[in-house]
Chain A
């Protein structure tokens, strides 16, 4: 099947169904508050180090959108001990790879190296936890880079622009409505002082999680982490994450984006939805399985059957939900109509299929099949130590505990048809939705 660029990516993320805690995981905390997780996998002499800071784009001050991501770029521009770009050069000289990524809730840095180079990686990563040095000219050049990144990822892509507009409409008050990369007019004004200020406030061992996965033992990690990260003092003025909440959504929101670069128009729908909370993951688990049932499989899901097979009104129909989030998140649908179906027609078919599902509930065989796949996903997931490192790092950065991560597969397995229906009724309420149409420019005239 020829996937749609972009859409296929989202689908791939969703299919990564969580695994049970059959993996070999140890955790401890240093005196300065740095939380450490070790995932052992001794099959190959490789290790990945990840440091996750509990700060992201949703923690930015008003007017400074993009600063969390900008700082992520600037973290490669040198410290009191190494020069600009030297971080990556040293990693490369060891045959390693390094990169970083920013979300609304976290910022993470990682290196993948031969297992016997872990000590050097910890030396480098701990150095930039507290001793970042920035030169004005490097900051200005890098700001041009992130503006080109926005050009490439967002402004050249009508689907990305629609997604940005839809989030802005979905979150009236919460910063999840602001793009991670930033609004262009604010990005253009970001300064070295903005970056240093954000760094000082948020980068500290007691606001970070260190995850090490691969051919290494917990004792080795404890020793190295103590030596490199241990001396960094905890921040005493770390402000708790003070996030605002959404007001009740009383009326559905709709928008249309028209662009000459659109080839295949589509309907996108999002609903506000609860996320995984520490000790309280049951609703998120039901929503995870609901998304699988409705639109997680291109052939057998409720929407694929109704819209692609039975009515033949769509070439693609999918549902997405990711409960990894600090605050309320979204439950999403995307439907791409066939050439002879209009957007209103395919939207009507989507709503009819959802209404029918709310009346009949899940097919027991569908539910059993998804449970089988969730159990198997545990086995397949153990093949990928990097993936496990990301799973633990993201969860802990978002405020979940190791136990929450361990219990998640069990909680997924225990979800009943009644749980799914309760979650579906809670979330699938048009009054709490945003609907976006992406269409060709000429169609708007």
Chain B
């Protein structure tokens, strides 16, 4: 039992993390592949984070779920190793490889010991370049994906997210679940998986960061060993999409004691000059902390929920402000009213000078705490690259937060928040609320 959970995964706050003191090197391999590195020799292992931009948004229409299934199969047999052989080889080295995909990226997280680094890299290279897609492995993993999709149909959060995506991004790949659907996944063929591999695993969309016991020179050699023989280019990336959400309520009936509320509207781009002001506003309105306005009004004063939070969600091609909470069915109407009221209050009044100062102190104080080990450091650095930040960003970030003025936040609050545009997706058996349009 944990006392509070941030209601929303805050990878949104876009992990602009980095300790101000952190020393990021940029490394270019002999073959011309670049990566960011923090060399840290205390512990004899290295964490490496690899991203290929595109992810499941590259799925062709009717083939939704191809990139996801392909990614799940990368480790299920490669070269002369079948799934069992590959897993044994990896575990004999005590290396860990995680392959995953989301709407914007294919992600690989690897950790390996210094003592057998070359062997681990060769094995990872084999998986990246020669996945087998054996028919028995395809069917086994397809079964797992389908089980997950069926579970999603009985999961209030998944149901709400699906409705939100469909309303926000009609006609764009973002409207779909990256895992595909119960219609598309059964029809995917090995050819589709090979096409998904060719579309998404290529050097023109590659981002790499490493942290740990490795020199810049060794990392350069490693980069060529891993990536030099990948195809130069992959499939065209999708274009931008403006969220099409409109103000109103969508209710989806689902049995249970609570209703899940997902609410939001258009957001703000990560490279917008007003992004830091927006970050401060989001902390004040819906940060996971107890002093945040929504947490204060809905949990601390009234005990209506275990948690509520909002995020500035930034995808590669769209931005939304989104929040989530769960309340008893009988409290749903009250919660909707309170959320709308707080939305309107910050839209029209902004925040107070005291809130601005307290939030600056929090954000700038919390910043250096994110550097907590090789794994987190590598993740932070690869995310910085994906959102286009320079390697010296950690040295300037707190100054940018501190430069935000009360006038900035008031102006940005009026620009960002629009109570009338809020769309609520409600999954449950809410009392006193009904779908509008």
A385 within 8 A of B: yes
Q: Which residues of A contact B (CB under 8 A)?
A: 1-5, 43-46, 69, 72-73, 76, 85, 88-89, 92-97, 99-103, 112-114, 140-146, 148-149, 151-153, 155-156, 180-181, 260-264, 297, 299-300, 305, 308-309, 312, 315-316, 336, 338-339, 365, 369, 372-373, 375-377, 379-380, 382-386
Nearest chain B CB to A382's CB is how many angstroms away? 5
Q: Nearest residue in A to B152 (C-beta to C-beta)? A: A263
B88 within 8 A of A: yes
A–B Cβ pairs within 8 angstroms, 20 of them: A1-B141, A2-B72, A44-B19, A45-B21, A46-B368, A92-B289, A92-B291, A93-B365, A112-B369, A146-B306, A152-B326, A155-B256, A155-B258, A261-B254, A300-B91, A336-B147, A339-B146, A377-B94, A380-B111, A383-B374
B154 and A44 form a contact (CB under 8 A): no
B231 within 8 A of A: no
A97 CA to B144 CA in the complex, in Å? 37
Task: Type the 1/0 row for B289-301, where 1 means its CB is closer than 8 Å to any CB of A.
Answer: 1110000000111
A126 CA to B96 CA in the complex, in Å? 40
B326 and A148 form a contact (CB under 8 A): yes
A180 CA to B145 CA in the complex, in Å? 33
A141 and B140 form a contact (CB under 8 A): no
Nearest chain B CB to A261's CB is how many angstroms away? 5
B251 within 8 A of A: no
A373 CA to B149 CA in the complex, in Å? 32
A144 and B304 form a contact (CB under 8 A): yes
Q: Which 8 A-B pairs have the closest CB atoms?
A: A95-B365, A144-B303, A2-B148, A376-B94, A299-B87, A263-B154, A383-B373, A95-B366
A140 CA to B301 CA in the complex, in Å? 11
Query: Which residues in chain B, 88-137, are within 8 Å of chain A measured between CB atoms?
Result: 88, 91-92, 94, 96, 111, 113
Nearest chain A CB to B109's CB is how many angstroms away? 12
Which one of B40-48, B160-168, B237-245, B414-422 is at the A interface? B40-48
A380 CA to B237 CA in the complex, in Å? 36
A263 and B150 form a contact (CB under 8 A): yes
Contacts known (A46-B371, A155-B256, A372-B92); A89 close to B364, Cβ less than 8 A: no
If A97-B369, A145-B305 are given as contacts, then 20 extra A-B residue pairs at C-beta distance below 8 Å, sorted by A number, are A43-B40, A44-B372, A45-B19, A69-B1, A72-B3, A85-B290, A85-B291, A93-B358, A93-B365, A95-B362, A97-B366, A102-B1, A112-B369, A144-B303, A152-B306, A155-B258, A264-B151, A305-B84, A309-B83, A384-B375
A384 and B362 form a contact (CB under 8 A): no
Nearest chain A CB to B137's CB is how many angstroms away? 9
Q: Which residues on the A side are within 8 Å of B306 (C-beta)?
A: 145-146, 148-149, 151-153
Task: Type the 1/0 row for B367-407, where 1 means its CB is closer than 8 Å to any CB of A.
Answer: 11101111100000000000000000000000000000000
B328 and A148 form a contact (CB under 8 A): yes
Q: Nearest residue in B to A4 (C-beta to C-beta)? A: B151
Q: Which residues on the B side are within 8 Å of A305 (C-beta)?
A: 84
B84 and A375 form a contact (CB under 8 A): no
A143 CA to B372 CA in the complex, in Å? 35
Q: Nearest residue in B to A89 (C-beta to C-beta)? A: B291
A69 CA to B302 CA in the complex, in Å? 19
B2 within 8 A of A: yes
Q: Which residues of B contact A (CB under 8 A)?
A: 1-4, 19, 21, 40, 42-45, 47, 68, 72, 76, 83-84, 87-88, 91-92, 94, 96, 111, 113, 140-141, 143-156, 179, 254-258, 289-291, 299-306, 326-328, 358, 361-369, 371-375
B44 and A379 form a contact (CB under 8 A): yes
Q: Nearest residue in A to B68 (C-beta to C-beta)? A: A2
Contact of A264 among B140, B147, B289, B368 (CB under 8 A): B147
A300 and B88 form a contact (CB under 8 A): yes
A260 CA to B84 CA in the complex, in Å? 37
A375 and B94 form a contact (CB under 8 A): yes
A152 CA to B141 CA in the complex, in Å? 30
A300 CA to B83 CA in the complex, in Å? 9
Q: Which residues on the B side are within 8 Å of A141 (C-beta)?
A: 300-303
Q: Which residues on the A side are within 8 Å of B47 (C-beta)?
A: 383
Q: Which residues on the B side are within 8 Å of A94 (C-beta)?
A: 361, 365
Nearest chain A CB to B135's CB is how many angstroms away? 12
A101 CA to B255 CA in the complex, in Å? 29
B94 and A384 form a contact (CB under 8 A): no
Interface residues of chain A: helix, strand, loop or mixed (majority): mixed
A44 and B155 form a contact (CB under 8 A): no
B143 and A156 form a contact (CB under 8 A): no
B369 and A95 form a contact (CB under 8 A): yes
Q: Nearest residue in B to A299 (C-beta to C-beta)? A: B87
Q: Nearest residue in B to A376 (C-beta to C-beta)? A: B94
A259 CA to B3 CA in the complex, in Å? 28
Q: Which residues on the A side are within 8 Å of B111 (C-beta)?
A: 380
Q: Which residues on the B side are within 8 Å of A385 (C-beta)?
A: 372-373
Nearest chain A CB to B70's CB is how many angstroms away? 12
Nearest chain A CB to B253's CB is how many angstroms away? 12
Q: Which residues on the B side are within 8 Å of A144 (C-beta)?
A: 302-304
Contacts known (A93-B362, A101-B1, A379-B43); A151 close to B140, Cβ less than 8 A: no
Nearest chain A CB to B145's CB is how many angstroms away? 5
Contacts known (A372-B91, A372-B92); A96 close to B366, Cβ less than 8 A: yes
A365 CA to B256 CA in the complex, in Å? 47
A88 and B290 form a contact (CB under 8 A): yes
Q: Nearest residue in B to A336 (C-beta to C-beta)? A: B147
Kindly name the residue among A95, A140, A260 whose own CB sees the greatest number of chain B CB atoms within 10 A: A95
Q: Nearest residue in B to A370 (C-beta to C-beta)? A: B91
Q: Which residues on the A side are within 8 Å of B299 (C-beta)?
A: 145
B363 and A95 form a contact (CB under 8 A): yes
Contact of B72 among A1, A145, A155, A376 (CB under 8 A): A1
A93 CA to B366 CA in the complex, in Å? 9
Contacts known (A3-B148, A114-B368, A144-B304); A149 close to B42, Cβ less than 8 A: no
B144 and A156 form a contact (CB under 8 A): no
A93 CA to B45 CA in the complex, in Å? 35
B148 and A4 form a contact (CB under 8 A): yes
Kindly name the residue among A305, A375, A376 whose own CB sees the greatest number of chain B CB atoms within 10 A: A376
Q: Which residues on the B side are within 8 Å of A152 (C-beta)?
A: 258, 306, 326
A379 and B140 form a contact (CB under 8 A): no
Q: Which residues on the A side are within 8 Å of B72 (C-beta)?
A: 1-2
B1 and A379 form a contact (CB under 8 A): no
Contact of A5 among B83, B155, B371 (CB under 8 A): B155
A96 CA to B372 CA in the complex, in Å? 14
A273 CA to B47 CA in the complex, in Å? 36
Kindly name the residue among A112, A152, A300, A386 whose own CB sees the greatest number of chain B CB atoms within 10 A: A152
A312 CA to B135 CA in the complex, in Å? 13
A155 CA to B156 CA in the complex, in Å? 13
Contacts known (A369-B88, A375-B94); A148 close to B327, Cβ less than 8 A: yes
Contact of B289 among A69, A88, A262, A373 (CB under 8 A): A88
Q: Which residues on the B side are within 8 Å of A97 (C-beta)?
A: 366, 369
A57 CA to B257 CA in the complex, in Å? 24
A260 and B255 form a contact (CB under 8 A): yes
A153 CA to B3 CA in the complex, in Å? 12
Q: Nearest residue in B to A144 (C-beta to C-beta)? A: B303
Nearest chain A CB to B148's CB is how many angstroms away? 3
A373 and B91 form a contact (CB under 8 A): yes
Nearest chain B CB to A389's CB is how many angstroms away? 12
B258 and A151 form a contact (CB under 8 A): yes
Nearest chain B CB to A302's CB is how many angstroms away? 12
B1 and A149 form a contact (CB under 8 A): yes
Nearest chain B CB to A185's CB is how many angstroms away? 14
A309 and B84 form a contact (CB under 8 A): yes
A433 CA to B256 CA in the complex, in Å? 30
B148 and A72 form a contact (CB under 8 A): no
Nearest chain A CB to B193's CB is how many angstroms away? 14
